[in-house]
Amino acid sequence: MLAPVAPCHRPPAAALGRVLAAAVVAPGPVPARAIALRPGWAVAAAETEGASPFSPVPLPGSPALLAAGDALPPGMDAVLDPFDAEAAGPLVMALQPVAPGDGVRAAGADVAPGQVIRAAGERLGPRDLPALAALGVGQVALRIPRLLLRHADPAVAALLAGWARAEGADCDDGPPDLVLTDDPAMEAAQAGLGARPGLAAGIGRAGGVPALLLPRLAEDAVAAWVLLGLPALRCLAGAAAPAPLRLRLSAKVASAVGMAELVPLALDGAGGAVPLAVGALPLGALARAGALLVVPPQAEGYEAGAVIEALPLA
């Protein structure tokens, strides 16, 4: 029985692509105070009312000249562009009026208190880093499954290792959470997969660890990985499966009843999918495919123009 691995903690920059074990929630607003979006004078907008080049309005006190990103002083609610002001001795004269909020980002406008930046089960991405830095988040909780991969075909091993890393797993020599092997001596609990390709796959244990028997042929190994390995790895990481792609078939797919058949699909960029093979993953088709259709055992296939759901391929 598979269960999510124990959480660990890493700095955000070292956690990119990993699956979060806990939601990252903003403890406070960003920015914490209203800030200037451009260089200019911090003003109370009401004090610039009626200003014009022909009737300058003196700003009271000693207004602060701000750089972009500076916090507004208390009582100030706008930023007056330097070109819309002029100095007259000790005074600063407004030459144009501004409205409240002009040139200002309000407190909490970037991130509201309590906002979920990333939910548990999602992967941390580069675009999350500025928000986490602004919030002062120094560590995030992750689930990082460790995968032990052994396959006689180095190209297959490299493909699956890269795919696993893209899912947020580690592939190293530490104690594994999941074993992928082509060694038929694996303690098989169930041999054979009711799918083409992938018939020779099996599940069991290797050294007491959950294991997937990968067939020797590349297309069978990839099928076993997509149908069994990926779901197992996502379970260990506590990751949600990506949403299926809804696509329209450009050609008929004929399938034999009684066995699931895999259909590699080339995507046309407009929501259409071109079947490249049925019940097989030829290497050229695998390289071109952007999605994989799994025809269920009870189906005879799909007509051209049918809208289907397919698994996205990395």
Rounded Cα–Cα distance for residues 130 and 154 (Å): 38
25 is in which domain, residue-wise? 8-31+108-143
Cβ atoms of 262 and 45 within 8 Å: the answer is: no
Number of domains the chain is built from:
4
Location of structure tokens 């180095």: 154
Could you tell me if 47 and 117 lie in one domain?
Answer: no
Could you tell me if 137 and 189 lie in one domain?
Answer: no
Residue 218 lies in a domain: yes
Q: Is the peptide bond before 197 cis (omega within 30 degrees of 0)?
A: yes
* 237, 257, 274 - which closes a domain: 237
Question: pLDDT digit string (tens) for 231-273?
Answer: 999 999 999 889 999 999 999 999 989 999 999 999 998 999 9
Location of structure tokens 């955000």: 12
What's this model's pTM, rounded to 2 decimal places? 0.85
The helix (run of H) or strand (run of E) holding residue 156 is helix 154-166
Location of structure tokens 């600063």: 92
* 237, 264, 290 - which closes a domain: 237
- DSSP code for 30: B
Rounded Cα–Cα distance for residues 204 and 269 (Å): 40
Location of structure tokens 């990333």: 118
CATH number for the domain spanning 78: value is 2.170.190.11
pLDDT in tens, the chain (314 residues): 789 999 999 999 999 999 999 999 999 999 999 999 999 999 999 999 999 999 999 999 889 999 999 999 999 999 999 999 998 888 999 999 999 999 999 999 999 999 999 999 999 999 999 999 999 999 999 999 999 999 999 999 999 999 999 999 999 878 999 999 998 777 766 778 889 999 989 898 888 899 999 999 999 999 999 999 999 999 999 998 899 999 999 999 999 899 999 999 999 989 999 999 999 999 999 999 999 999 999 999 999 999 999 999 97
Q: What's the pLDDT score for residue 183?
A: 85
The rounded Cα 220 to chain-centroid distance in angstroms is 28
Max CA-CA distance within the chain? 92
